[in-house]
Amino acid sequence: MKRRSFMRVLAAGGAVIALPGCDQMPPSATAPWTAPGASQTDLRLRALSWALLAPNPHNLQSWVADIREPGLIRLSVDLQRLLPASDPPNRQVLIGCGAFLELLCQAAAQQGQRAEVTLLPEGEYVADGVDARPFATVRLTADASVPPDPLFAAVPLRRTNRAPFTAQVPDAQALAQLAEAAGRPGITLHSSTDAAKVQRLRELAIAGYRVEFGNAATWAESAKLMRVGAAAVAAEPSGVAVTGTMAWFGRQLGMLGPEALRKTDGVAARTAINSSAEAAAHTHAWAWLSSADNSRRTQIEAGRAYLRTDLAAAQLGLAIHPNSQVLQEFEAMSALYDRFHAVVGVAQPARVQMFVRLGYAARPEPAPRRPLSRLVHT
């Protein structure tokens, strides 16, 4: 594996490299991608086996499903899996939960089930907090008239792609198809391939990497989630999988111990900035999901819209890569947060919920997932 690829893994959360040699991705970590739910007889478990493949911040998979009441799935945030440094209001975590919810509904429709969704059924979270109460309940009822979602076929192809993209610029038709697929109440997908605007956004994205990866608290949060080597990924298939030959060498040389990874002036943090900047330099289209407001329901809707965008991109052969830095709500990012919103012309109460690179690149391997049993209460 190239050193650059290895460091791209360190940069961003959950990329996967599987080359022949030492410290390959353990098959158990990506097993949930193979025939999801095929062995389940309970329809809810079958649908949940697909839902856990949803994109989510830092691949933390911050969701819990309670199926103790017949016919009902009660979904809540896993309070042990939050990102207090980079996501103080738990906004990104809720977007990931929204993506999970959308995929669950699509998987239910695929089985001829109507999914009746109630958001925040036991009341709103207080301020920026999340708590043990559900973010949604889903009741499944057999209904042969429920149409399957055409996007569902793209689930096995969907990936977060952190590679530098080719020079091919996504055309207006592809971007219009993405925008149509993204449609959810109150959420709109915008995009730009205008060279001057692309450059402006590139500069902001790069400034964002420098702040997030150079900040002691946010970088330490990422470093703590790095699973270095095959055994570590197999033991905990969430967070950032650092696998392959370079990971093996790095481990042997003592370069990838917790202390070394955590340093903001260390090789991992510095190279993470450089490889992310290189990927941004090879970006010729940016897109962003804006919302009419910033309520919790809206954040969940944004997650649903992002999952749909992600699947539509996979269907169109487009690579997609969230760049969330400039949307993060910690103090050191606030000036960039404001500048970014000004550049894309989104003013309060509207907000941007997701900001992504779009383009073309070879599809990477799937990212690890925890097995269904780790997130379901039966």
Ligand X SMILES: Cc1cc2nc3c(=O)[nH]c(=O)nc-3n(C[C@H](O)[C@H](O)[C@H](O)COP(=O)(O)O)c2cc1C
> Can you give the binding site for ligand X, defined by CB under 6 A?
12-14, 55-59, 92, 95-96, 99, 159-160, 162, 306, 321-325, 367
Residues whose CB is less than 8 angstroms from the CB of residue 173 and which lie 6 or more positions away in sequence, other chains included: none
As a whole number of angstroms, the distance between CA 173 and CA 354 comes to: 21
Minimum separation from the CB atom of position 98 to ligand X (A): 8
Token code pair at residue 35: 């025939």
The answer to whether 73 and 137 are in contact (CB under 8 A) is: yes
Of 95 and 316, nearer to ligand X (C-beta) is: 95
CB of 328 to ligand X, least distance (A): 8
Q: Are strands 240-242 and 136-142 parallel, antiparallel or unpaired?
A: unpaired
> Strand ranges (DSSP E) for 80-205?
113-119, 136-142, 187-192
Q: Which is nearer to ligand X, 99 or 344 (CB)?
A: 99
> 256-265: string of b/e by CB count within 10 Å (b at 16+)?
beeeebbebe
Residue of minimal Cβ distance to ligand X: 14
Cβ closest to ligand X, residue 58 vs residue 74: 58
- Residue 51: closest CA among 170, 160, 192, 155: 155
Q: Cα(102)–Cα(153) distance, rounded to whole angstroms?
A: 14
| Residue closer to ligand X (CB basis): 138 or 225 | 225
Shortest CB 29 distance to ligand X, Å = 12
Q: Are the CB atoms for 10 and 226 separated by under 8 Å?
A: yes
The DSSP output letter for 292 is S
Q: Which residues make Cβ contacts (< 8 Å) with residue 329, sequence separation at least 6?
A: 87, 88, 89, 91, 337
CA distance 75 to 97: 9
State which residue, 58 or 184, has the beta carbon closest to ligand X.
Answer: 58
Minimum CB separation of residue 114 from ligand X in Å reads 26
Structure token pair of residue 112 = 């001829």
Q: Which is nearer to ligand X, 76 or 323 (CB)?
A: 323
99 vs 242, beta carbon nearer ligand X: 99
**Closer to ligand X at the Cβ: 43 or 100?**
100
Q: Shortest distance, CB of residue 197 to ligand X, whole angstroms?
A: 20
Give the nearest distance from C-beta 36 to ligand X in angstroms. 13
